[in-house]
Amino acid sequence: MPLTIILQSQAKPDEIENFKTYIAKCLPETRSYNGCINIDIYEDRGKKGIFIFYENWESVNAYETYLEYRTKQGVMDKIGSMLMKSPEITYYSRVDI
């Protein structure tokens, strides 16, 4: 069942540009990863450095497989070093109403 992932993160003030550059470098592979439907990144207009990742995946399993893959690559540690705290990840399923 498809799901939407909302991931919120806050980059350290001195890492904002590095964070954006690194994410931009990773996005083509993420977007072509098996199970990824789409992913868009938004930055809070009033609070520089706060980002929302709006992602749609084919299944929870596809997303968790992707996270495991990126963790093994060291990507998650690299991103984590640029953040104020661990990102908040919320899973949503579409409600047909």
Position 21 pLDDT exceeds 90 = yes
Position 1 pLDDT exceeds 90 = no
Are 59 and 35 contacting, i.e. CB atoms less than 8 angstroms apart? yes
Quote the pLDDT of residue 27: 97
Q: pLDDT of 34-61, one tens digit each?
A: 999 999 999 999 999 999 999 999 999 9
CA distances from 23 to 2, 64, 92, 95 (A): 23, 18, 23, 30
The percent of residues above 70 in pLDDT, for the chain, comes to 100
* pTM as predicted: 0.90
pLDDT band at 24 (very low <50, low <70, confident <90, very high): very high
Domains of the chain, CATH where assigned: 3-45+58-92 (3.30.70.100)
Q: How far apart are the first and last CA of the chain?
A: 17
